[in-house]
Structure 1
Amino acid sequence: MKNAVLLTTLLSLGHDVGALARTRTPWRSANDTQTWPSVNATQSCVFSGATGYSLLQALNRSCTDIVLSDLSVPAGVTLDLRNLRNGASITFQGETTWGYREWAGPLVSISGTNITVKGAAGSLLDGSGELYWDGQGQSGKTKPKFFQARLVDSTISDISILNAPVHVFSINNSRNLTVSNVIIDNSAGDGLAKNTDGFDISQSNNIEIVGATVMNQDDCVAINSGTNIIFRDGICIGGHGLSVGSIGGRSANTVDNVLFDNSVIINSQNGIRIKTKHSTNGTVSNVAYRNIGLSYITDYGIVVDQSYGAKTLAPTNGVSITNFTLENISGTMMGDGLVAFVRCGEGSCADWTWAGVNVVGGQRSTECVGLPAGIEC
């Protein structure tokens, strides 16, 4: 009964419930017949600390303006912000933290329509990845994925993430989503952190990521399926570059109309990459990389691999790669890294246009196969 009174009281007030949980609240008596007002969905609901997390899970769908202030999320549970009210906004303030537990995650899950997700100045989401990193990525310790988004007609902006245990943003089944000015800093994981993809995108349409800075140990972006996807004005440091794939063997295996533009890739294993799995089916079409700068790339400046996951086998042609454009690609390779490496299946790669590719240093491959007409390694 006491808990029911608590929830009724908090709903009636409709804001700063985290702060209320830390103060003495005048409870209603059993004989109190006062009619309490219902929550005003336009008011701000502020949730803070460990108590704020518990109240948030009970009340978040009653609010349209949700503020998470120095929120402390218990170990082994998701910050569940799914199925929010249409038009709701979420603001992260201060530092959001999670307790340590080996589990699959995600640490955050957000879904809804016309949702605004933003970080206040100086805010930080800290995943405590240093407690999980063991050099084994998705093996070894079970590590939680970080941020799952299933959003329609929505925006994510100014979010700063520190030390993700493994994959950071998973954007799935979303459409008309703009992600801007996100910072992912996993630089402390160099050496032990693995599989820390910045953005994994699947089964989504009309996605734009602009102004992202990603410091990690795997793909800066990996587009596994989807259409009409743009990544521009980005900075990728320390990872595996800007990738399409891996394609094949999933429930959805089509990538169409993708643009990577005006971005730089620094101190990374790869620059530009398309990877399709061996002996699978799918399509990759109308993918363009324009105005991309490469700096100190160690392995491959440009790589198209149709034997991904089976590198000792000949490439297969079950996934077609057509209308692949490179325009104004420049930069430097390190040591004996390869400027370009292409392994296409028989007849599966066609209608490619590469213009203004000027990558210096490194080596030229003599083992490229299945090159479309007019393309050289």
Structure 2
Amino acid sequence: MNCVVGSSCSMMASRGSTVLVLILCSALVSCHAAGGRAGRALFTTFNVLNYGAKPGKQQESTQAFVKAWRAACDFDREARILIPPGVYKLGETIFQGPCKSQTPITILLQGTLQAVSDISAYPDKGWISFDEVNGLILTGGGTIDGKGQDLWKYDDCKTNPDCTHLAASIYMTKVKNAKVKSINLINSMGFHMHITNSYLVRFHRLKITSEDGPNTDGMHISKSNTVKVSRSVFRTGDDCISIGQGSNNVTINKITCGPGHGISVGSLGKVANELDVQGLIVQNCTLVGTTNGLRIKTFPASGPSKASGMLFKDIIMENVKNPIIIDQNYGSKSTKPSRVKISDVIYQNIRGTTISPVAVNLKCSAQEPCKNIRFHNINLRHTSNVRVSSTCTNAVVQRTGLQSPQAC
């Protein structure tokens, strides 16, 4: 039917527009219900309560968590594991992959996971372990409580070089494409987080607190490639973040560290045939009241390896004991030099206060001197207006810009 210009034509156009709007609105609602992706079904939620988890009880919920993970891991579409508010007691818990879905599994932690205070419950390296998982998101604002204060008495690593480290709160091995954000970790037994043999793992907005425990590193990274840590707070009894052998392309950005032992590369060279460390960026960080600031440490009498390509930039120190330190005679009385080659290290725009008169202390190996160590704009002053100094042994150093302390 032809439409003659006039009121009837306007009415038909109006009705057509209304129908079009209704169709578009319906499509938008359908898209939103599908999680914002047209043609995709809703993700499936696996609630740990439905698998027997008992919040607020003394009984363990370990098996319930493993069952919920197994169901989500074996699901071939998008899955979310929900841990509602409440306190859940867990012994050693292993989230084992590989999983079927091509999309990351999301663990929404709203409650508190609390470790069982029995050292025999943790025969391996981790309390909560992720093994061979490709695609993981751990978030939700919840808390992981290692109850380390009940087990720290068993840590004899200061007196026993062959000691067995207590379990890490989170232990990741062979994990790829993972993100951990908006999680609190407190009072770990050993390390709060240990990441090894992993690739493309990101950590964001973490709060890690354990000031009194021995060897409670906030995060230890080893044998891993492309790890990023940002916008997090570490208050630990050991290193805030430690970079171990085989770590490549690690970025640490906007971290607040302290108390603790600072940000450390190492210890390196403790065991035979260690892998090299290469490609570390530490920037926009603040260290407060730490024993060390930026530290590289290697054992003497070590096998050959390399630690190179490191940038420490835009760092603020507040009341730090050893702001910049390289110690290649760490942890041993051996007279044999370290064979770890340290090279291509840049310290740029480092400023703040120290409680030590020696603000820069480079103790490098007599057999493998530190090479191409560059300082640009270093401004460190003593809290009591004592003149600060620098010490360099077996190090080839270049300095530009402001230098306080003066070059050694």
Q: TM-score range by the shorter chain?
A: 0.7 to 0.9
How far is 1:186 from its partner?
Answer: 1.1
The offset of 1:294, in angstroms, is 0.7
Following the alignment from structure 1 to structure 2, what is the Cα–Cα distance between the partners of residues 147 and 326? 31
How far off is 1:135 after superposition? 9.1
Aligned residue for 1:72?
Answer: 88
2:339 to 318, 330, 350: 318
Percent identity over the alignment is 20
Query: Over alpha carbons, which structure has the higher Rg?
Result: 2
Q: For residues 304 and 172 of structure 1, what CA distance do their matches in structure 2 show?
A: 24
Structure 2 residue aligned with 1:3: none
Instruction: Give the CA deviation at 1:145.
Output: 2.2
In 2 relative to 1, CA 363–99 (structure 1 residues): closer, same or farther, beyond 3 Å? farther
* TM-score using structure 1 length: 0.80
Moved more, 108-117 or 282-291: 108-117
Q: Does 2:198 correspond to 1:174? A: yes
Aligned alpha-carbon RMSD (Å): 2.4
Moved more, 253-262 or 81-90: 81-90
Specify the SS of the correspondent of 2:62.
helix
1:343 pairs with one of 355, 360, 363:
363
Establish whether residue 279 from structure 1 lines up as the match of residue 294 from structure 2: no
1:141 to 1:114, Cα distance in 2 relative to 1, 3 A:
closer
SS in 1 for 2:153: coil
Structure 1 Cα separation of the partners of residues 114 and 229 of structure 2: 25
* Residue of structure 2 equivalent to 1:129: 148
Q: Which runs of 5+ in 2 are unaligned?
A: 1-40, 73-78, 400-406
**2:360 touches 2:390 (CA, 8 Å); kept in 1?**
no
Equivalent residue number for residue 71 of structure 2: 62
Q: What is the identity, as a one-letter code, of the residue corresponding to 1:110?
A: F
Counting only pairs closer than 5 Å after superposition, residues 1-377 of structure 1 correspond to structure 2 as: 42-47=43-48, 48-49=53-54, 50=59, 52-63=61-72, 64-69=79-84, 70=86, 72-74=88-90, 77-83=91-97, 85=99, 86=101, 87-103=104-120, 104=122, 105-111=125-131, 112-118=133-139, 120-121=140-141, 123-134=142-153, 136=155, 138=157, 143-150=166-173, 151-187=175-211, 189=212, 193-225=213-245, 226-250=247-271, 252-280=274-302, 281-298=304-321, 300-310=322-332, 312=333, 316-334=337-355, 336-346=356-366, 347-361=368-382, 364=388, 368-374=392-398, 376-377=407-408
Q: Tell me: CA distance 1:363–1:141, structure 2 relative to 1, closer, same or farther (3 Å).
A: farther
Question: CA separation in 1, counterparts of 2:317 and 2:165?
Answer: 33
| Alpha-carbon separation, structure 2, partners of 1:59 and 1:317 | 48
| SS of equivalent to 1:130 | helix
Post-superposition shift, 1:240?
Answer: 0.7
Compute the displacement of 1:59 (Å): 4.1
Structure 1 residue runs of 4 or more that deviate by more than 4 Å after TM superposition: 139-142, 312-315, 362-367
Checking the alignment, whether the CA contact within 8 Å between 2:360 and 2:391 is kept in structure 1 is: no
User: Which runs of 5 or more structure 1 residues have no equivalent in the other structure?
Assistant: 1-39
Residue 37 of structure 2: aligned partner: none
User: Kindly tell me: are residues 141 and 314 of structure 1, through their superposed partners in 2, closer, same or farther at Cα, counting changes over 3 Å?
Assistant: closer
Superposed CA deviations along residues 354-374 of structure 1, whole A, max 9, x for unmatched, are 101111116645753112143
- TM-score when normalising by structure 2: 0.74
- Preserved CA contact (<8 Å) 1:53 1:71: no
The C-alpha deviation readout for 1:33-88, integer Å capped at 9, x for no partner, is xxxxxxx99411111425753223234222131122335234xx312212152421
Structure 2 match to 1:33? none
The residue type equivalent to 1:178 in the other structure is R
